[in-house]
Chains A and B, each alone.
Chain A
Amino acid sequence: MFYREAGQFKTSYEADQSILPIFQDRIAMYIMLMFAFIVFPFIANDYWLGSILIPFLVLSLAALGLNVLTGYAGQISLGSAAFMAVGAFAAFNLHVRIPEIPFLVVFLWGGLCSAAVGMIFGLPSLRIKGFYLAVATLAAQFFIEWLFTHFDWFTNYSTSGVITAPPMHIFGFAIDNPLSKYFVVLTIVVLCAFGIRNLARSEIGRAWMAVRDMDIAAEAIGINLMKTKLLAFGVSSFLCGLAGALWAYAVLGTVEPQAFDIIRSFEILFMIIIGGLGSVSGAFLGAGFIVLLPILLNNLGSLVTGGAISTETIAHIEYMIFGAFIVFFLIVEPNGLARLWQIGKEKLRLWPFPY
């Protein structure tokens, strides 16, 4: 009833190719953005901002990056956390050595370094595919983790091995409380999300999806596989690197390799599997799921048993539930929450009729 497209005819190709062609979708997006930018800062307390919303946003960015590589371009990567690490360390090293450079540039630099590294480790994708490629990215993950742990130059020869990230300031404003961090992260993430959405509807996005669906045919119609794949690795690693820098500066407050281990890589992979491969909203849905589930479980656990279950047991149950959800999603809806959301919208179109 509310979600009818009737009467919404596009009279130009430009209008037809817009990101949100359905009017109701556009309204929903505006409302969501308004909530994010205006309402949340007022109603959310520091805990919500700092421990839930900001990590959610940063991980969504990383998931977005992996979605570009795996969801759009079809190249499996198990090393996304390593590229986050590159971004974090590159940003840190630039800032610590040349403190005058503005933070936004520092973050950009983190992203660019990560993009370069990503493209190097993406070279095997020119010869191998699918699972074998996943293994090559695992190599990247372990190697980069080792690199940052074993060479003191990266940590600026800090004696403790754990470096505090210096406080940020952008355009003269000190970004030191959860609220300001939230705004910075939110803006960056929203911009990136729109940027990727734009890419998806243009020539590059189609080239990626062609490579994903059938690379032999893609080659036959003139798509240069090497350039397209490397570009996917580059863009994906850029986003992961940016996310890594944000993770270090806006979430943890420290720059440490342990935050970017293989568990993190799997976490991000799970996000896009559950959220839905090849969609921007999927990255957010998946990240939301993975960030909120442990909190939910913890609260549920203590509610139901009054604290009788140890956190360790809850952690084990979490593992089991994660695993079960992955399998469940792959069976029921391999396209993840995003597709379920789409199906929901389609049902909404017909509401109140059943079909």
Chain B
Amino acid sequence: MNNVVKNIKSNLIMSINHVNLSFGGLKALVDVSLNIYEKQILAIIGPNGAGKSCMLNIISGIYTPQEGNVEWKGEKRGKIAPHDIAKMGIARTFQNIALFRGMSALDNILTGRNLLMKRGLLAEVFYAGWAKEQEIIHRKKVEEIIDFLEIQSVRKTPVSRLPYGIQKRVELGRALAAEPELLLLDEPMAGMNVEEKEDMCRFVLDVNEQFGTTIVLIEHDMGVVMDISDRVAVLDYGRKIADGLPKDVRADKKVIDAYLGVG
């Protein structure tokens, strides 16, 4: 049980205001508002099809809502190109692992660092001067992440050969490599056994505490959600039906009816 009570009045890093999102005739999100506070862990839960992934995509900017707006650090954010999202400080992992299968774990995480690197064709062709130094500096940083995630022994292995749980860790590492302010995790514990889940929880908490990263995660495992999140938002059929502290949400009747069930 996470007994540390975080200051709920910390700064607003992002607010989603009354967004409506539909695809053709299908309404994915209806009048959803959400506040994301700095340095907190927010969990978004709900039955399948409730619109959680859509919510994450709105946060990361892949989808633009038909109505409503998104504010990032107090400023309204319009439509942005996908590659600019990462530059804003938002990183994410995917539900189905989206690692680069042709590369090793180390290279995957190094690629996550690309946006912090300068590009210079000639310098890189000769692998000299600042290009070489840049490589070594960022390699060092990546090794720190590898140490943090305890995957040193497999860093040179092509990711397609790694077990599922380790792949998820590598994907987390790749997201962390960009040194994001906001980290979005789409079902990071899916398909893991108890031990792997505990490890992942530990990493998520460490990332939040050590690096001060704000985290938004979608998760189905209620134990995990209650344990590590500071706040929980519940979606059902595209609407937000609850939003608050984990213990309050747990006891909310609407949530129990729609999702949790009794017991």
Contacts and interface: CB of A to CB of B under 8 A. Distances in A.
Interface stretch (B19-27, B39-47, B123-131, B253-261): B123-131
A69 interface: no
A13 B98 contact: no
User: What's the dominant secondary structure at chain A's contact region?
Assistant: helix
A198 B115 CA distance: 19
Contact of A206 (B110, B126, B143, B175): B110
A198 B94 contact: no
Contacts of A198: 124-127
A207 to B, nearest CB: 6
Interface string B120-138: 0100111100011011100
B101 interface: yes
A221 B102 contact: no
B156 to A, nearest CB: 9
Contacts of A206: 103, 107, 110-111, 114
B119 A220 contact: no
Contact of B102 (A209, A217, A220, A225): A209
Interface residues of B, number: 40
Given A221-B178, A222-B86, A209 B124 contact: no
Given A221-B86, A222-B86, A216 B127 contact: no
A219 interface: yes
A314 interface: no
Nearest to B140: A13
A199 interface: yes
Nearest to B156: A16
- Report which residue of A198, A216, A217, A224 has the largest number of chain B beta carbons within 10 angstroms of its beta carbon: A217
B100 A217 contact: yes
A332 to B, nearest CB: 19
A57 B135 CA distance: 31
B121 A220 contact: no
B115 A13 contact: no
A278 interface: yes
Contacts of A235: 121
A14 interface: yes
B188 to A, nearest CB: 15
Interface string B84-122: 011100011010001111110001001110110101010
B111 A17 contact: no
A213 B132 contact: no
Given A195-B125, A198-B126, A204-B124, A221 B91 contact: yes
A207 B98 contact: no
A201 interface: yes
B197 interface: no
Contact of A223 (B101, B102, B114, B127): B114
Contacts of A199: 124-125
A203 B114 CA distance: 6
Interface of A: 13-14, 17, 195-196, 198-199, 201-204, 206-207, 209-210, 212-214, 216-225, 231, 235, 278
Given A17-B136, A213-B99, A220-B60, 18 more contacts: A17-B135, A196-B125, A201-B135, A202-B127, A202-B131, A203-B124, A203-B131, A207-B111, A210-B100, A213-B103, A216-B82, A217-B100, A220-B62, A220-B85, A221-B111, A221-B114, A223-B83, A231-B121
Q: Which 4 residue pairs spanning A and B have beta carbons closest together?
A: A222-B115, A222-B86, A217-B98, A213-B100
5 contacts: A17-B136, A206-B114, A209-B102, A213-B102, A219-B83
